[in-house]
Structure 1
Amino acid sequence: MKITAAFLGLAAAIASVQAAPATSGLAAAPLVQPKTYTLPVKVNPQFSRSAKASVWKTANKYQKYVQSKKTSVLASTGSVNMTDVQNDVEYYGIVKVGTPPQSFKLDFDTGSSDLWFASTLCSSTCSGKTKYDSSKSSTYKKDGRSWSITYGDGSTSSGILATDTVNLGGFSIKSQTIELAKKISSSFSSDPIDGLLGLAFDSITTVSGVKTPVDNLISQKLISQPQFGVFLGKESNGGGGEYVFGGYDSTKFKGKLTTVPVDNSQGFWGITVSSTTINSKSASSSFSAIIDTGTTLLLFTNSVAAKVAAAYGATDNGDGTYAISCDASSLSPLSFKINGATFSIPAEDLIFENDGGSCIAGFGYASLPFAILGDVFIKNNYVVFQQTSSPSVQIASIE
C-alpha cells in the first residue's frame, strides 16, 4: 500500500506512502547463511511531509472498506548512509531489470502487490525518470496485456505487461512479469522514484494471475526461507535501512522475535492488536491492523484514534490528523500488545511534524475498519514477513 506523509500538500500520491532517495555505499560483511541477501534502502531528501495527505491517501486507497524462534540469521552487511531531510518519510531500494541490467529506484510496499516502473513507452509524464528500454534487454519478452492503476486520490499509472529477468537483492528472478508504464500522473512525475515494488500477496495484483517477485523467489527456489526481514532506520539514529530476502538480520533488533498469525484474506499482511496502553493505562481494546511499509503514519480506526488522542490530550484537526504537544517529555510511549508481547513507540516518534511550535501527531485516522501500522511502528520494531501457506509475521523491538 503506498502512503506518504507530508503536512502541507499532496506531494506524492502513489496510493499511500512513497519511497525515498539517498545514496551511499555498503560495507561488506560475510553472510552467515547462504541464499540470503541484504538489500539497502534509501531515503528521499526532497519529499515533502504531510500527515493530512497521508491520511487522505490511505482513506482513498482503502475506500471500499470505509464506514519465536529465529529460523534464519544474517550477519550485518552494513548500513546505507541516509540523507533524510524529511525525517523518515519514505524509503526506496534499487532493483535491476533486464540483461544487461537496468537499475531503478522502487518504493518497497508491503501494502500492494504490483511491480511497475517508467519505460521508454512513457510520455513526457515520465520526464526525469529512469526508463526501462526493452530494446536493450536480451531477456525481454512481450506480453501485450494492458494494466491500469487508479488510486483514490486520482493518481494513475498505466501501460503494458512484459516479462524479463529481475535482480532483487542479488537473486536473478527469471521471466518475472513487469508492468511498463506508458503514462503516469503528475504526483508520480514529481516523485523521485521510478516505480513501485509490491510485497503484499498476489491476490491483489492489478492483473489477475500475475505472480509477485516474492512468489517467484520462492517458486524458483532462489531463497532458503520464504521470508523477508525489514529494518527501517531513523534519521535520529543515523538513518539507513535494509530488506533481507530469504532471512533476516538479527543484529538489527533486541530480544526474541514474536510470531504473529497473519490474515491475508484481503491480500494484506493483516494481524490482530490485542490492546494499546499509554502510561500503563488502557487506551483501546482489540482491533485489526495491516503492517504496511508504504504508509508513513500510524492510522487507527476512528474510534481507537479518538481514544488514543484523548489519552495524549491531542486535538482533532478534522482532516484525519491530530495536533499534539511538541514537548516529547510530556508524552508517554504508546504500547501495543500483540500475541502476548509488547511493542512500543517512543514519545519522540509520536510527534510527526513540528511547524513553528505547532505539532502534528504521528498517528491519525482514515475512516477504515482496520488500522494501518506504518513506518512510525516499523522503524521501532523489526518485522519478518513469512509468506508460507499459513502466513505470519515475526516482530521484535529494535530498541
Structure 2
Amino acid sequence: MKWLVVLGLVALSECLVRVPLMKVKSMRENLQENGMLKEYLEKFPYSPVKFLSNDQNKKVNYESLRNYLDVIYVGLITIGTPPQTFKVVFDTGSADFWVPSAFCNTLSCEAHGRFNPRSSSTFKSPPDPVLVVKLRYGSGDILGIVGYDKLKIGDLEAFRQAFVLTTWEDHGFGSFAPFDGILGLAYPKLAQAGGTPVFDKLWKKGRISENLFAFYLTSGGKRGSMLMLGGVDHSYYSGELRWVPVTKQRYWQVALKRITVNGTVIACHDGCQAILNTGSSVVNGPYEDVLNIQNVIHAQHTFNNMYVIDCNTTTNLPDVVFVIGGVNYPVPARSYIRKEAFGTCVSAFKSFSDNRFNSKTWILGEIFLRLYFSVYDRANNRVGLAPSI
C-alpha cells in the first residue's frame, strides 16, 4: 500500500509542468540607461484606457492591456521542426500568440528572433484566403498572417497550433524590448487571430491534467519565477489559496471591494473591477483615485504620467491595501516604489493617460503579482491568491 501511495504522488507531480521564467531588464530600464526614455514616451504614449472603452473602434482588433515598457518576465518556447527558439511573455492580458516572422523587415523585427516557416517541415499555411490580422497594443500595432505549426512549452507539445507571424511591427517594439513575441493566456473571447488559443489547445488535447495554470513571480531569492501549467505546486505560497470568481470572462477580471491606506478608503470607494495582468509591472487605475494615492505617498508629478519620490522617505511610507473577496492584500512601499537608473525613485501606480475616461477598472501588474502567488482556474472561472514564499 505504501508503494501505491508513493507512485500516486509521483504520477500527480508529473501532471504539473513547470516553465521557468527569466527576469530581464525592462524596456523602460534599457531606454533610460541609453537616455532615450523621455523621447520614447513622448513618441509612443501608452494608453491602456482605450481597451476598456465601450466605444472602441469595432473595425480594429484591439488586443490586451499590456504595458510593454515594463515587461520583465520572459520564458523560452520553440516552434517548428527543427525547433526555432523564442523568448515570449506569458500574458494573462491577451489570448493571441505571435512571434516575428522572416517576412518582416522592420527594425523592430530585425532586432529579435524571427520565425522562418520555410525552415520548418511541420509548418502549415491556412486554407485560402490568407488571414491577415492587425492587433493594436498599448505601445503600438502589429500586422501579420496566421499559420500553424508545432509548439513546445517545457515538456508540452501542441501540434498545428495557430499563431500570428508578424509581417510588420510598430517601432514601439524596437530593439529595447526584451522579448520576441507574446503568448496570451486570457479567455478565448479575447482572441482575434482565429484558431484555438494555446492553453485551450493543451487542455482539449489532454496534454494537462487540470484546466488551470499558476504564476510565481519573484525578483530574486531561492526560487526563480515560474509558470505552472495543469497544476499547482503548493510549496510556492504560504497559508491557503483564497478564491474569487471571475466577473467577466475575457480578461482575468475580479471584483475589487476597496483600496485603503492605514484603514482609510482612498480609492474604489463604491467597489470596482480589477484585472490581473502578468504582462505589466505597474498598477493602472482611474485618474482621480491614482492621484489620491500619489498624494498620500508624496509622489511628485514629472512628465508623461510619471511620479517621483524622495528615495530617503520610502521606508516610512504606508502599505496600500487592495481588498479582494473580503481579504486584505497589502502592497508595501518596497514593492510600489522602484529605484531606476541614476538613483531616481518612481511610483509604480499609473493613471490612465486619458483622464477624461470614467473607468473604474484597475490593472494589477507585477508589483502586486510578485507578492501574491496567483492561480487561474478556467474549470471554475475563478482566481486564487495567496502570499508568495
TM-score relative to the length of structure 1? 0.79
1:3 matched residue in structure 2? none
Correspondence 1:248 to 2:232: yes
1:159–1:180 CA contact under 8 A, matched in 2:
yes
Give 1 or 2 for the bigger CA radius of gyration. Answer: 2
SS class of match (1:337): strand
1:100 matched residue in structure 2? 82
1:122 matched residue in structure 2? 104
Tell me which amino acid in the other structure corresponds to 1:214.
F
2: CA distance, partners of 1:61 / 1:96: 32
1:40 matched residue in structure 2? 20
2: CA distance, partners of 1:359 / 1:131: 36
1:339 matched residue in structure 2? 325
1:151 matched residue in structure 2? 137
Relative to structure 1, is the Cα distance of residues 101 and 316 closer, same or farther in structure 2, using a 3 angstrom cutoff?
A: same
2:173 matched residue in structure 1? 188
1:351–1:360 CA contact under 8 A, matched in 2:
yes
2:202 to 209, 213, 217: 217
Give how far 1:387 is off. Answer: 1.4
2:368 matched residue in structure 1? 377
Which aligned pairs between 1:142-291 and structure 2 lie closer than 5 A? 142-143=125-126, 144-153=130-139, 155-190=140-175, 191-207=177-193, 209-235=194-220, 237=221, 240-265=224-249, 267-284=250-267, 285=269, 286-291=271-276
Give how far 1:43 is off. Answer: 2.4
Aligned residues: 345
Give how far 1:341 is off. Answer: 1.6
1:169–1:245 CA contact under 8 A, matched in 2:
no
Percent identical across equivalent pairs? 26
Relative to structure 1, is the Cα distance of residues 321 and 129 closer, same or farther in structure 2, using a 3 angstrom cutoff?
A: closer
1:313 matched residue in structure 2? 298
1: CA distance, partners of 2:90 / 2:50: 17
Relative to structure 1, is the Cα distance of residues 65 and 363 closer, same or farther in structure 2, using a 3 angstrom cutoff?
A: farther
Relative to structure 1, is the Cα distance of residues 253 and 314 closer, same or farther in structure 2, using a 3 angstrom cutoff?
A: same
SS class of match (1:203): helix
2: CA distance, partners of 1:198 / 1:122: 21
Relative to structure 1, is the Cα distance of residues 139 and 371 closer, same or farther in structure 2, using a 3 angstrom cutoff?
A: same
Unaligned runs of 5+ in 1: 1-29, 68-87
1:38-94 Cα offsets, whole Å, 9 max, x none, are 001112236333799599424355263599xxxxxxxxxxxxxxxxxxxx8511111
Tell me which amino acid in the other structure corresponds to 2:112.
K
SS class of match (1:142): coil
2:261–2:320 CA contact under 8 A, matched in 1:
yes
2:384 matched residue in structure 1? 394
Tell me which amino acid in the other structure corresponds to 2:325.
N
2: CA distance, partners of 1:152 / 1:398: 29
1:60–1:151 CA contact under 8 A, matched in 2:
no
1:35–1:224 CA contact under 8 A, matched in 2:
yes
2: CA distance, partners of 1:392 / 1:319: 35
1: CA distance, partners of 2:209 / 2:238: 24
Give how far 1:303 is off. Answer: 2.9
For the aligned residue pairs, the C-alpha RMSD in angstroms reads: 2.7
2:274–2:362 CA contact under 8 A, matched in 1:
yes
Tell me which amino acid in the other structure corresponds to 2:53.
K
Give how far 1:187 is off. Answer: 2.3
2: CA distance, partners of 1:47 / 1:238: 25
SS class of match (2:131): strand
1:149-195 Cα offsets, whole Å, 9 max, x none, are 23354x22212111111112311112110111122222223123211
2:25–2:178 CA contact under 8 A, matched in 1:
no
1: CA distance, partners of 2:330 / 2:26: 29
Unaligned runs of 5+ in 2: 1-9, 57-69
Relative to structure 1, is the Cα distance of residues 124 and 310 closer, same or farther in structure 2, using a 3 angstrom cutoff?
A: closer
Tell me which amino acid in the other structure corresponds to 2:23.
V
2:59 matched residue in structure 1? none
Relative to structure 1, is the Cα distance of residues 354 and 98 closer, same or farther in structure 2, using a 3 angstrom cutoff?
A: closer
2:26–2:71 CA contact under 8 A, matched in 1:
no
2:282 matched residue in structure 1? 297
1: CA distance, partners of 2:299 / 2:178: 33
Tell me which amino acid in the other structure corresponds to 1:294.
G
Runs of 4+ in 1 over 6 A off after TM superposition: none
Correspondence 1:131 to 2:122: no
Give how far 1:269 is off. Answer: 0.8
2:316 matched residue in structure 1? 330
1:264–1:391 CA contact under 8 A, matched in 2:
no
